Amino acid sequence: MLFDDMLIHKAAILELDMVDDGEGGQIEKWVDSGNRLSCLFDTPSSAEQYRYAKLNKQISRNMFYYPTDLVTPKSRIRDENTKVVYEQVSKPDDQGGQGEMYQLALLEVENGA
């Protein structure tokens, strides 16, 4: 496809799940779903950052990827190279064209998952 050379990063999909807390109970925790996708993490332009600031939102990265059902509105994304975890700030934005590519605005999550 047209953008295959551009998708140089791997992203892991994290889902919120109930896990054993070690004391007989359970707690909610972000866990690796085992799903991976090829993508490109890119720094947003100052114009994009300003646009989100006007909406009282912050943005750390843009992620470009092919449409997939792996990325759900409730999932978090982990960059497999840097291990930085991001939450979604926007809905996926279709970039148009025949090699449809989605753009997703992300915000870095403090303290990982």
Q: Are 48 and 60 in contact (CB under 8 A)?
A: no
d(CA 51, CA 62): 14
**How confident is the model over 34-75, as pLDDT tens digits?**
999 999 999 999 999 999 999 999 999 999 988 887 888 889
Give this prediction's pTM. Answer: 0.84
Tokens of 1: 């496809």
